[in-house]
């Protein structure tokens, strides 16, 4: 059985993860709306630029990048998914 301290710590971590996922989703949605009607290449460039800023500022973690990839991957074909994974690995190196 889990003691109260561990339970509380686990719940706090779950809240942080949920908030990070919400922020990531909001950011992606905002970028996507701003590129409505533009090419996919432009959209990917913008996402990469925003993610790069977040990594350099310390506001985007590797776990958040993984969450983003998991969120977006099902909507992509194999070629685009491979490209997304390549971008994610580059971002994690920053």
Total domain count, the chain: 1
Residue 2: pLDDT band by 50, 70, 90 thresholds?
Answer: low
Which residue, among 56, 45, 79, 51, has the nearest Cα to 67 in the 3D structure? 51
Q: Write down the pLDDT at residue 51.
A: 87
- Is pLDDT of 9 > 70? no
What is the spatial distance between Cα 24 and Cα 90, in angstroms, rounded to a whole number? 18
Over residues 14-64, the pLDDT tens digits come to: 666 556 567 777 777 776 676 677 777 777 787 788 888 888 999 889 999
Q: Write down the pLDDT at residue 20.
A: 59
Q: Write down the pLDDT at residue 93.
A: 92
pTM > 0.85: no
What is the spatial distance between Cα 72 and Cα 4, in angstroms, rounded to a whole number? 36
Domain span at residue 81? 4-92
What is the spatial distance between Cα 19 and Cα 90, in angstroms, rounded to a whole number? 24
Distance of CA 14 to the CA centre of its chain: 16
Residue 65 and residue 23 in contact, taking contact as beta carbons nearer than 8 Å:
no
């Amino acid at each position: 059985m889990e003691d109260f301290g561990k339970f509380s710590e686990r719940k706090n971590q779950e809240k942080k993860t949920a908030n990070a996922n919400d922020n990531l989703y909001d950011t992606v949605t905002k970028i996507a709306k701003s590129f409505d009607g533009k090419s996919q290449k432009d959209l990917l460039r913008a996402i990469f630029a925003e993610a790069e800023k977040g990594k350099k500022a310390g506001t985007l973690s590797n776990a958040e990048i993984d969450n983003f990839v998991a969120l977006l991957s099902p909507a992509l074909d194999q070629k685009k998914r491979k490209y997304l994974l390549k971008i994610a690995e580059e971002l994690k190196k920053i």
